[in-house]
Structure 1
Amino acid sequence: MQHFEVNYDGLVGPTHNYAGLSFGNVASLANAKAVSSPKSAALQGLMKMKALHDLGMKQGVLAPQERPDIYALRRLGFTGTDGEVLYKAATEAPAIFQAVCSASSMWTANAATVSPSADTANGKVHFTPANLTNKFHRSLEPVTSGNILKAMFAHERYFEHHTHLPDNEHFGDEGAANHTRLCEQYGHAGVEIFTYGRYAFDSSQPAPQKFPARQTFEASQAIARLHGLTDDNTVYIQQNPDVIDQGVFHNDVIAVGNQNVLFYHEQAFRDTEQKFAEIQQKFGDNPVHFIEVKTSEVSVQDAVSTYLFNTQLITPPDGIMTIIAPTECEENPRVKAYLDSLVERDNPIKRVKFFDVKQSMRNGGGPACLRLRVALNDEELKAANPNCLMSDSLYKRLTQWVDKHYREELAVDDLRDPALLEESRSALDELTQILKLGSVYPFQQD
């Protein structure tokens, strides 16, 4: 039986904008109010998907959310026609209005946590959408994320879907951005590593002081229980509170794993030595390659500004473990020098490829934010929705779809335009037909 890691990248939505909504995300705040290009952002994302497909990777597409979220505004007391609701919200509560226009679902690493069938008690692939309670604009996503995932992975024999955790900060869950999995091969049983920022029910434990810790220990435990994981294949490790206060809002901004490699910054974790020993013990007899980047080699500031660790670490069919990095890593002389030396050292990472995802980077997300990793065997892959898998024909159709529906430029003030809502709904309605998802959006269900 063959096994694959499929990267499902989020399509950038038609309302991609720079509203600076994410406190604790340095890039998001730095580019607040700038003019965005939804069309460029979507095409950049599609180009990366196609490039990975051309490398031989199994590459999928995950649909964006409906934005502006009229339904959220109506729940908050805004009434009238859709146009009137938009106008009232934009004039009376501009911060709330900008939040319901966010296209942040493009960062699919936050869509869900996924456990492969090799790890779970019932031998199914498990999905739990992230509740994203720490940010209002992202807390609007989990129901639709769940609908989309169920449409993509519908076969009950192979896939099990869970409701997102309770909408409360005690169970703040940010999905795969704080979860990674190590394994010998994708089909083998692995070790699932849950990284958390704080304890929700024990305030005596260390926690960041400046920026919020978005993932709780209790949420990570709950996901593991839901997915049927055991103590033998699960490790919980706390993110260094000091590094969160330096702008590392998710663990995937400071560490990334793939197969038998964990690539991380020396300031990434607490209790590093003890927890790495636990990972190795649960991994088995073969060694895990813990590749540490010293602060003297790359500062936390450089790691955050270039997203050195928010890169994709993949193993294409040619077997050469590869870093998929944003061009910001190439443009920073210190980070570029480190990557040049990394591939020459005695470790499994032997290649780096750079991609332009600047529209995403300026809003606070790199290549790893843009994808959700789903390890599948060949039977599970056949049972998944084939219309969501990248191909030459799908790439062509989706680029034509973007050209047809997306605006070249979008300023924050443009978000109140009722025509943008209709454009967005028209685009999403056509997209669900292309990907054969059915009615996953509220406007379609109405």
Structure 2
Amino acid sequence: MRAFAREFESRSAGVICRAPGRVNLLGEHVDYNGLPVLPMTIDRAIAVVAGVRQDSRVRIRNTDASFAPDEFVNGPDLTPSPQGSWINYCKAAIDGVNRHYRPDTFPGLDLLYSGTIPAASGLSSSSALVVATALAYLHALGIPIDTEAKRIELAAMLAHAERYVGVHGGGMDQAIILLGAAECACKIDFFPLRVERVPVFDDHTFVICNSLVTADKSGSAIHRYNEGPLSCRLIRALVEKHAKLTYDDEIEIEHLGDLWFGPLCLTNVEVEALFRDAFPRPRTTLAQAATVLDLGEPEIRRRWLGDLPEPDGGFPLQARARHQLTEMARVEQGRDCLLASDAVLFGSLMDDSHQSCADDFGVSSPQLDKLVEIARAAGSIGSRLTGAGFGGCTVNLVETGQLDHFVQYVSRAYYEDYLGRGRRDAFANDAIIVAHPVPAAGYEDL
């Protein structure tokens, strides 16, 4: 509170909002297709101390000096800051609340942020920032979020609002941050959003290992991050075309998840057959897609791909579609494993998920693959990348009694020998986090 007083000329704070990070256990790059995921909250968080102003100015500060201060005037249309600015995540929350709840006035705020979620690590520091900001602004507006139904509404709204910064993600991060629970993972389904809380294992622990390769979703990295969601839009369009030919010309598929959960109610075997028909070759060129869809290439870009560059030989849609099918099945099995306390089978699902993320969806990296290899040698019974990929973290399932051995082995083999970082305290630097699910985002006493 003294820091808030120093930053804002002794103005009194009104509320503290805390939003935890998350680690995704199974279900990578499927939420934006309406398919289920299995994440849990972690005991790292973004916190914001907020005070309401008498004008409409929003002043933003961070206890970490590497995040530059800024301010802007609140109103019905907020102009984005330069691409890559962390302020855009704050604006995304406020702009989303304004558009969804349509307040009569647009109060200003003094906001002081601090955080313990490692930035750009795939642990959802950006979505936690958005959620914490939204809670602070809703408090200023006098709008309570005091029921699960209201939290579900807010999570769905913020998933859309975060597109303000230019990313085309799904709704997993906002949902787990607002609907998670202590000692539980959450199986999250979409359209409509719903959550099943499932207790985690008693005798095994999820351990997060940071590759120390930045998994940035801002600035120039947005294009790489959006490649998966945008190519899946084209997958959906091509699958819908083949579903019309196979089943009914009136069929409409808004998300790939509709194949299972919509009017068709297809089995995995039937979806696999449909994918084979839609993607007979490993790669699909823009010209081939245009022929199937009977559309010009500019129209395909306008509807689904935007300015996403076409890779040599075409888009790898066959493998990316296969990942959707197999990853969804792993989430369903993973939920059952948690209920049955079957850690061994759950670990094998994590291993298979990593292989699919690496080979079929193409979002791993040499460092992540090496970290997974070392974790398995250290005694993990399941290891995979977590988050968007390309960098960031792995999540590993370790027998609780073997934690010390696991941490020492990974510290030496990856951080010292592979990265050449010298001896380091992996715990002190949050390179290794022993993860425990914590309560969902909310308000704390001043």
TM-score normalized by structure 1? 0.23
More helix by share: 2
TM-score normalized by structure 2? 0.23
Bigger Cα Rg: 2
